[in-house]
Amino acid sequence: MYETLRAGQRDFAIRGSDPVEAMRRLVAHTFSALVEHADAIALLNDENLHKGRHLRRSRRIRALYDPLVDTIREVLRCGAAPVYLPP
């Protein structure tokens, strides 16, 4: 299920966009993916109840989510960067 959710996000390019708009698009896309794969919500809830115990044992989960975390980090970095305003 995690691979299915991440596969849809791989084609979803937001880097280089306005940071606020990029985060809006990412959140909207994530909610759409969860609506499309409603069974993922039960899986995520179960994993949260177990405090990530099953995910920590997965060798593949970090490789699936590192690119997403990197993208979010980049968007947040761009959003936090001072904006140049000409004098």
**44 vs 58: CA distance, rounded Å:** 14
**What is the pLDDT, as a whole number, of residue 5?**
79
**What is the pLDDT, as a whole number, of residue 31?**
87
pTM: 0.70
How wide is the angle at C-alpha 54 spanned by C-alphas 29 and 36, nearest 5°?
Answer: 25
The predicted-structure confidence for 21-53, as pLDDT tens digits, reads as follows 888 988 888 888 888 888 888 888 888 898 888
23, two tokens: 């985060």
The b/e string for 25-63 (b: 16+ C-beta within 10 A; e otherwise) is: bbeeeeeebeeeeeebeeeeeeeeeeeeeebeeeeebee
More confident of the two residues 57 and 10: 57
pLDDT at 85 over 60: no
**What is the pLDDT, as a whole number, of residue 44?**
85
